[in-house]
Amino acid sequence: MSRRPEPVQIVKQRRDATLRKLVECVPYMQYLGIEIDRRGDELTGVLPFDEALIGNPMLPALHGGVTAAFLEVTAIMELSWAMVWEDMEAGLVTDHAPRIRLPKTIDFTVDYLRSGLPRDAYARARVNRSGRRYASVHVEAWQDNRSKLFAQATGHFLMPPRDG
């Protein structure tokens, strides 16, 4: 006889708790006000607009550095999320487990497609290749229309050493 599926609340609680652990790893995310929205295993970075994020007060437009940071953070979260998924589903990510170590950025290339408007921005990343030591991640950001990207980026990351 097959096992009964886990209650939905247990699954949600486990995944949300793990995601919270990941986000809490990065003070700079709190500083910029970046949140991560989760639907199943799909993550979306959310950057609520704030005056302090402005780079060009004349237009006004988001600062290129804010856009770069938003893309980089979303890429790292997606990569870390994929990295911990199996352990998380196996119930190995607990309060007593060792701290999750995040991948480190080797290089990051941002392509600015149009100026970032003074409103909320969203980003989603795709892990193109993730090996034992290195990973390549692509990330896209948009504002009002999903198909009208205002920036995209590709980065290479050094994966944290895995035990065993």
The residues of the shown chain that bind other proteins, judged by CB under 8 A, are 25-28, 30-32, 51-58, 61, 63-66, 68-70, 72-73, 99, 101-102, 104-112, 115
Rounded to whole angstroms, the Cα distance separating 109 from 131 reads 20
- Measured at the CA of 20, the angle between CA 19 and CA 26, to 5 degrees, comes to 100
Pick 47 or 88: Cβ nearer other proteins: 47
Residue number with CB closer to other proteins (19 or 22) = 22
> Least distance in Å: CB of 10 to other proteins?
29
Cβ count near 110 (within 10 Å): 20
Cα–Cα distance for residue pair 12/84, rounded to 1 Å: 15
For other proteins, the closer of residues 14 and 115 by Cβ is: 115
User: Contact at 8 Å (CB) between 73 and 29?
Assistant: yes
Residue whose tokens read 């229309």: 145
Q: How far is the CB of 18 from other proteins (least distance, A)?
A: 17
Name the residue nearer to other proteins (CB basis): 82 or 102: 102
DSSP letter for 158, please.
E
For the CB of residue 155, give the shortest distance to other proteins in the complex, in Å.
Answer: 9
We find the least distance from the C-beta atom of residue 119 to other proteins, in angstroms, to be: 15
